[in-house]
Amino acid sequence: MTERFNQVAHAWDNGDIRQNIAQNIFQTITSRIALFNHMTIMDFGAGTGLLSFKIAPMVKNVVAVDLSTKMLEQLENKNSINLSVKAICQNICKEALDQQFHGIVSSMAMHHVENTEELFKAFHAHLKRDGFIAIADLEAEDGTFHAHGNDGVYHFGFKRDALRQTIENAGFEHVRFHHAYTVEKERQNYPIFLVTATKKS
Ligand SMILES: C[S@@+](CC[C@H](N)C(=O)[O-])C[C@H]1O[C@@H](n2cnc3c(N)ncnc32)[C@H](O)[C@@H]1O
């Protein structure tokens, strides 16, 4: 999985599809969650930072977590004196960061993580009291979304009811699903949800 993202990293930002996905997820996040300039935010599976750099101007700082060094290299190339995102290459399910966040955002990364239960427990552990998650991914699909094959794809999207249960079991409340965007391909449309929740105190 990591090797696959390393190989495509240099061209990840090309074209409109991923830019449109990130832009619409960003708009859905900001329409549902108030971001403030004292906040520290994790972007999980941040890749080249398409979402991170939209969030960064609104908060104190964004930490981009990913397993692909090449995707993170592309992200770091976008850093400037005026706006920067910190990149960390680490599996947070196996080794926790030494930091807790006001919120965790994510765009299209969760279907690449095999154990969703473990992932939401890791999110819970990385949040401050009353912290939020805002996680976007595909609604359940038939396995045709990834035109190049499903290597490293552990979930063909997610069924909302099952995911809600997983999130609540990990210690979150106020779980809400929102429609974020629909990717229109030649033969089929693929809706993307944003799920938001807060850490139960
Ligand atoms: C489909 S890309 C999305 C990248 C970016 N969020 C975007 O919207 O353009 C999925 C990203 O998740 C990363 N990823 C997959 N599993 C991960 C894990 N367990 N921890 C951190 N990152 C992971 C991949 O390396 C890849 O960069």
- Position 201 scores a pLDDT of 79
**What is the CATH architecture of 2-199?**
3-Layer(aba) Sandwich (3.40)
Other C-beta atoms lying within 10 Å of the C-beta of residue 93: 17
Query: For 86-137, what is each residue's pLDDT tens digit?
Result: 999 999 999 999 999 999 999 999 999 999 999 999 999 999 999 999 999 9
Pocket test for ligand 1, best of 5, 17, 145 (most atoms within 8 A of CB): 5
pLDDT: which is higher, 41 or 151: 41
Residue nearest to atom 15 of ligand 1 (CA): 112
Percent of the chain with pLDDT over 70: 100
Percent of the chain with pLDDT over 90: 92
149: pLDDT strictly greater than 90:
no
Residues 6+ away with beta carbon under 8 Å from 77: none
Query: For 89-100, what is each residue's pLDDT tens digit?
Result: 999 999 999 999
187: pLDDT strictly greater than 90:
no
76: pLDDT strictly greater than 80:
yes
Query: For 159-180, what is each residue's pLDDT tens digit?
Result: 999 999 999 999 999 999 999 9
CB under 8 A, 24+ apart: contacts of 21-24: 21/50, 21/107, 21/108, 21/181, 21/183, 21/192, 22/50, 22/51, 22/54, 22/107, 23/54, 24/180, 24/181, 24/192
Pocket test for ligand 1, best of 51, 67, 123 (most atoms within 8 A of CB): 67
Compute CA 101 distance to the chain's CA centroid, rounded to the nearest angstrom. 14
d(Cα 36, Cα 15) in Å, to the nearest integer? 31
CA 162–ligand 1 middle distance (angstroms):
22
CA 27–ligand 1 middle distance (angstroms):
20
- Amino acid residing at 171: G
- Position 18 scores a pLDDT of 96
Give the start-to-end residue ranges of the domains of the chain. Answer: 2-199
Q: Is the pTM of this model over 0.85?
A: yes
Q: Are 75 and 52 in contact (CB under 8 A)?
A: yes
Ranges of beta strands (E only) in 6-164 are: 40-44, 61-66, 86-89, 101-107, 127-138
d(Cα 75, Cα 94) in Å, to the nearest integer? 23
Residue nearest to atom 21 of ligand 1 (CA): 66
CB of 50 within 6 A of ligand 1: the answer is yes
Q: Are 93 and 126 in contact (CB under 8 A)?
A: no
1: pLDDT strictly greater than 80:
no
Query: For 18-48, what is each residue's pLDDT tens digit?
Result: 999 999 999 999 999 999 999 999 999 999 9
- Position 148 scores a pLDDT of 79
Pocket test for ligand 1, best of 68, 89, 121 (most atoms within 8 A of CB): 68
**Which of the four pLDDT bands, split at 50, 70 and 90, describes residue 150?**
confident
Three-class secondary structure of residue 120 per DSSP: helix
